[in-house]
Chain A
Amino acid sequence: MTENRKLALANFWVAISAFTVAAGMALMQALSRAELDLPFRTARMYYLSVTAHGVLMAIVFTTFFIMGFGYVVTERALGRPIVLKRFAWGSWWVALIGTVMVAWSILWGKATVLYTFYPPLKAHPLFYIGAALLVVGSWGWCWVVARTWMVWKKENPGLRTPLAVHGMLTTIIVWVLATIGVAAEVLILLIPWSLGIVDTIDPILARILFWWFGHPLVYFWLLPAYVIWYTMTPKIAGGKLFSDPLARLVFVMFILLSTPVGFHHQFMDPGVRAGWKLFHSFNTQWILFPSFITAFTVIASFEIAGRMKGAKGLLDWLEKLPWGNPAFSSVALAMIMFAVGGFGGAINAAYSMNAMVHNTAWIQGHFHLTVGTAVALTFMGMSYYLMPRLLGRELELSLLARIQPYLWFGGMLLFSISNHLTGLAGMPRRVYEASYGGSEIAQQWVAGTGISAVGGVLLFVSAACYAAVMFGTGLAGKKVSPEPIEFAEALQPENGKAPLLDRFGLWFVVAAILVVAAYAWPIIEHLSMERFGSPGFTPF
């Protein structure tokens, strides 16, 4: 086993473990909202587990999976081992220690502040310190991948960066720009306040910095999924990538548009001027564009696969696709869900429509389609492809792996549609139960929460299948010599004429200027008004 494989696997195992714990917590939450009693169901357990589910899924599972995936892609696509190996291991340990601190503070009931940790809800200092360490560890990963690419460039003058690495570098740029916001929030505001060095905190400033990070965070999740869709799924489907240059254009658009959009999470906030909200709202709508291109390019790549296998008619290429291979079916199903989630996102980010859905169950319905399916299901499918190749073992319990994406799709359909509808009917998100003292209006939500609970059970079964396949493969998979990890050829290969799209330094600078344009003035304006700090509260 090479060092790089060990490093990737170390990241993947943390991700899979976090996923398994978080999935178990989700079951109780879905049942709780439908008022189905479990012996350990209390408000305290519910909110604790919502916090744990959010942090472990959205931060720990995604970040570690992306780090592991980034190491694999960098080595395989560049055809050289990564540099700075000891530094990479150091970064992994830093991120892991941070994760353990965060997990301890949540599971011991000292940080029931949900994964958005809005002050003046005050968690244990180790929650914030752990979160900071996790981010610092991920920065180490960014540096290792970027540095490896720079060394490769020197060794291979004139060669274009492989598309998969292009996508990972995009991910890294988005992540670095995004995490500046949360690093400022955690290091300057939250850690000194939670340690008692300062007494009060400005909740709106904290929210501005959080959402500077919180929205591009979703592209940090999504872009590695796009790398899979563009560079690996067409190959797994047996076809070719429809267009390489458009894929590069898509990645560059994400570098530019990911960050100057955060205020669309704060439409309902006081203390932020309407003009800034409108500006960010307009920016956000354009992010739909690269995803529209992605839908066309990736589906066209699937059609190529079907036709290469002999399809002649209008739609019979669909039948020729490998629906029994979970590495393919997961992505195809994820894309269907993402189409719905994308339009829902346009509604959330619409300046005047957001008031109807803000902080309702609609929101959890929405992001379980995007991060919860488009990203998570893609990552699960990729695990079935990568783990046997990295471990040199056969996939264990492969029947479970085959049905798992369909179970997820069905469960999420029920869960998400019912949450969208109860949200439109006014049910708030993140509530232990939603009866409101027998309110008649709240009665309208009962059917929805029941369907959502059924969806939750299916999702839990699906997650359990995934965990069983992964741990089964790791512990008991038959040893075989690993198959290669391959990337899709492009039908219309890069013709060497668009090096502009490969100029990461340039795009980084342009994106940084856009971030300054979107945030410098509002923050200066904010800091210059008379503000009163808030002391901390721990109502949990």
Chain B
Amino acid sequence: MHVDFYEKIWMYGAAAIIVIFLASMGYTTFGRAMQPPSHIETIDPTTVRADEEFGSPGVTINEDGSATVVIQAFMFAFLPNEIRVPRGRDVTFRLTSPDVIHGFQIVQTNGNTMVVPGYVSQFTTRFNRAGEYLIVCNEYCGLGHHMMSAKLSVEDMSRSAAATTETGGGL
């Protein structure tokens, strides 16, 4: 096949760009451990509200100072809808839905996951900036979709706050 000289250069250039893209993906994936949330755990969506863990969602500060946040996402709210987590320590979010698919996005961070009935979503992250964050549902879930949001406060917490549980009120 005849390929024009300049087009050949262009094609090598294009291939090089793609290789750079792949290399940067490989670096962030393996070098920086930036993985999308891909937790595999199933749960019966019809029993979520009575579930030991998801039936009483909330924030738990663990012995090591890290936090576990259990959240129920349903039409059209998150429970708890005010979440306090420590700054600079690991925070693990665990979420599920008793009804349709929702999204969980901590605005202006890369905290983002789908919340799918029948499955438990889980990811661990760390907040280095204290302050208030907005959480929104980013997957259409019905006519109240745009009202589905929550508040996240990242605070400097002393270690003595460890091993406490705070269940979400609100609803």
Q: A residues bordering B, Cβ < 8 Å?
A: 43-44, 47, 50, 112, 114, 118, 120-121, 202-204, 207, 242-243, 245-246, 249, 266-274, 277-278, 281-282, 285-286, 288-289, 292-293, 296-297, 300, 346, 350-356, 358-360, 425-426, 428-434, 436-437, 439, 441-442, 492, 495, 497-498, 529-535, 537, 539-540
Contact = CB atoms under 8 A, between A and B. Distances in A.
23 contacts: A47-B140, A47-B145, A121-B101, A243-B3, A270-B38, A270-B41, A270-B116, A274-B38, A296-B7, A351-B36, A352-B28, A358-B105, A358-B138, A359-B138, A426-B107, A428-B137, A429-B138, A430-B145, A432-B146, A441-B107, A442-B134, A537-B100, A539-B142
Ordered nearest first, which 6 A-B pairs have the shortest CB separation?
A539-B142, A426-B107, A292-B14, A359-B138, A428-B138, A352-B34
Contacts of A537: 75, 99-100, 142
Contacts of B128: none
B124 interface: no
A540 B11 CA distance: 50
B121 A270 contact: yes
B134 to A, nearest CB: 4
B110 to A, nearest CB: 4
Given A278-B29, A537-B75, A271 B42 contact: yes
Interface in B1-30: 1-4, 6-7, 10-11, 14-15, 17-18, 21-22, 24-25, 28-29
A497 B3 CA distance: 13
A395 to B, nearest CB: 35
B149 interface: yes
Interface in B87-140: 99-101, 103, 105, 107-108, 110-122, 133-134, 136-140
Nearest to A203: B116
Contact of A539 (B75, B122, B138, B139): B75
Contact of A300 (B7, B32, B35): B7
A428 B122 CA distance: 20
B21 A285 contact: yes
B118 A531 contact: yes
B168 interface: no
A272 B142 contact: no
A534 B99 CA distance: 8
A120 B42 contact: no
Contact of B119 (A204, A296, A492, A539): A204
Contacts, number: 219
A273 B38 CA distance: 6
B161 interface: no
Contacts of B2: 243, 245, 492, 495
A261 to B, nearest CB: 14
B21 A350 contact: yes
B143 to A, nearest CB: 5
Contact of A268 (B37, B41, B107, B149): B37
Contacts of A114: 140
Most chain B Cβ neighbours within 10 Å, of A266, A286, A431: A431
Nearest to B33: A352
B42 A285 contact: no
A425 B35 CA distance: 21
A74 B147 CA distance: 50
A211 to B, nearest CB: 12
Given A43-B146, A246-B7, A346-B21, A430 B140 contact: yes
Contacts of A495: 2
Q: Looking at chain B, what size class is its interface with the partner chain?
A: 35 or more
A252 to B, nearest CB: 12
B144 interface: yes
A268 B112 contact: yes
Nearest to B1: A245
Contact of A47 (B22, B46, B136, B143): B143
Nearest to B122: A270
Contacts of B142: 47, 121, 537, 539-540
A277 B149 CA distance: 28
A204 B32 CA distance: 28
A529 B40 contact: yes
Given A532-B46, A539-B99, 15 more contacts: A47-B143, A203-B117, A203-B119, A243-B2, A270-B41, A270-B113, A277-B36, A282-B25, A293-B14, A352-B34, A358-B138, A426-B108, A441-B134, A442-B134, A531-B42
Contact of B36 (A207, A268, A498): A268
A350 B117 CA distance: 26
Contacts of A112: 143
Given A289-B14, A434-B146, A532 B118 contact: yes
A359 B112 contact: yes
Given A245-B1, A249-B1, A426-B105, A203 B118 contact: yes
Given A268-B113, A296-B7, A297-B7, A535 B46 contact: yes
B22 A282 contact: yes
B3 A246 contact: yes
Contacts of A296: 6-7, 10-11
B141 interface: yes
A360 B106 CA distance: 11
Contacts of A432: 145-146
A347 to B, nearest CB: 9
A271 B101 CA distance: 13
A195 B23 CA distance: 48
A428 B25 contact: no
Contacts of B34: 351-352
A204 B17 CA distance: 33
A269 B114 contact: yes
B45 interface: yes
B158 to A, nearest CB: 27
B4 A242 contact: yes
Nearest to B111: A355
B100 A281 contact: no
B39 interface: yes
B117 A243 contact: no
Contacts of A534: 45, 117-118
Contacts of A358: 105, 112, 138
A267 B28 CA distance: 15
B140 A267 contact: no
Contacts of B117: 120, 203, 534
